[in-house]
């Protein structure tokens, strides 16, 4: 009997650390990031995460997304913090 492994799309994956728990639990992880990630231990696609999710998201059982650090987002400016220093 063949067991179906749930497929997880890890958007903004970087080196794949956020998906380790999913992989340990038996998920088939596919990582997506705009930058090359040679240390990502899972199958990897270099692409824009949002565009990839729009095109392929329905092919996965779960989607995990951990976008850029707060330092790089407009959230810091909303809080009145200057991130250019």
Tally the domains of the chain. Answer: 1
Q: Collapsing DSSP states into helix, strand and coil, what is residue 68? A: coil
In a domain? residue 61 = yes
Q: Render pLDDT for 21-55 as a digit per residue (tens, 0 to 9).
A: 999 999 999 999 999 999 999 999 999 999 999 99
pLDDT above 70: percentage of residues in the chain = 79
Strand pairing of 7-11 and 62-65? Answer: parallel
What CATH number does residue 59 fall under?
A: 3.40.50.150
Instruction: Tell me what pLDDT residue 31 has.
Output: 96
In a domain? residue 51 = yes
Find the domain containing 51 and state its range: 7-78
Q: Using CA atoms, how far apart are residues 26 and 23, in angstroms rounded to an integer?
A: 5
Q: What is the pTM of this model?
A: 0.76
Backbone dihedral angles phi then psi of residue 25, each to the nearest 5 degrees: -85, -5
Q: Render pLDDT for 56-84 as a digit per residue (tens, 0 to 9).
A: 999 999 999 987 765 655 656 666 666 55
Mean pLDDT of the chain: 86
In a domain? residue 2 = no
In a domain? residue 84 = no
């Amino acid at each position: 009997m063949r067991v179906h492994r749930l497929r997880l799309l890890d958007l903004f994956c970087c080196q794949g650390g956020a998906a380790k728990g999913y992989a340990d639990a038996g998920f088939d992880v596919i990582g997506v990031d705009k930058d090359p990630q040679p240390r990502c231990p899972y199958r990897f696609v270099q692409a824009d995460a949002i565009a990839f999710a729009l095109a392929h998201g329905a092919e996965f059982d779960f989607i995990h997304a951990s976008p850029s650090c707060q330092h790089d987002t407009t959230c810091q400016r909303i809080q009145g913090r200057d991130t250019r220093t």
